[in-house]
Amino acid sequence: MLILHHGWRSSASRRVRLCLEEKGLDYEGHVVDMTKLEHHSPEYLKINPLGVIPTLIHDGRPLHESGTICEYLDESFPDPPLRPETPYERGEMRNWIRHIDGLIGNLIIFNWRHHLQKVAAQWSDEELAEKLKNIPSKERQESWLRVARKPYTEEERDAARAKLVQLLDKMEQALVPSGWLVGKAYSIADIAAVPFVKRIDEEIAPEQVSEKNHPRVAQWWAKIQARPAFARANFGPFVTS
SS (H, E, C) 150-213: CCCCHHHHHHHHHHHHHHHHHHHHHCCCCCCCCCCCCCHHHHHHHHHHHHHHHHHCHHHCCCCC
* Per-residue pLDDT, 240: 66
* Per-residue pLDDT, 2: 98
Phi, psi of 214 (to 5 degrees): -140, 75
Q: The domain that contains 31 carries what CATH number?
A: 3.40.30.10
pLDDT in tens, 129-143: 887 888 887 887 887
Q: Is residue 129 part of a domain?
A: yes
Q: Which residues contact 103 (CB under 8 A, 6 or more apart)?
A: 163, 164, 167, 196
Residue length of the chain: 241
- CA within 13 Å, CB half, 153: 3
121 and 44 in a common domain:
no
Burial class (CB in 10 A: 0-12, 13-18, 19+), 18: buried
Tally of domains within the chain:
2
98 and 61 in a common domain:
no
* Per-residue pLDDT, 173: 98
Q: Is residue 82 part of a domain?
A: no
Stretches where the chain sits below pLDDT 50 are none
* Per-residue pLDDT, 114: 66
SS3 61: strand
* Per-residue pLDDT, 161: 97
pLDDT in tens, 37-91: 899 999 999 999 999 999 999 999 999 999 999 999 999 999 999 999 999 999 9
Give the CA dihedral 157, 121, 15, 215, nearest 10 degrees: -20
Q: Which domain holds residue 9?
A: 2-76
* Per-residue pLDDT, 52: 93
* Per-residue pLDDT, 144: 77
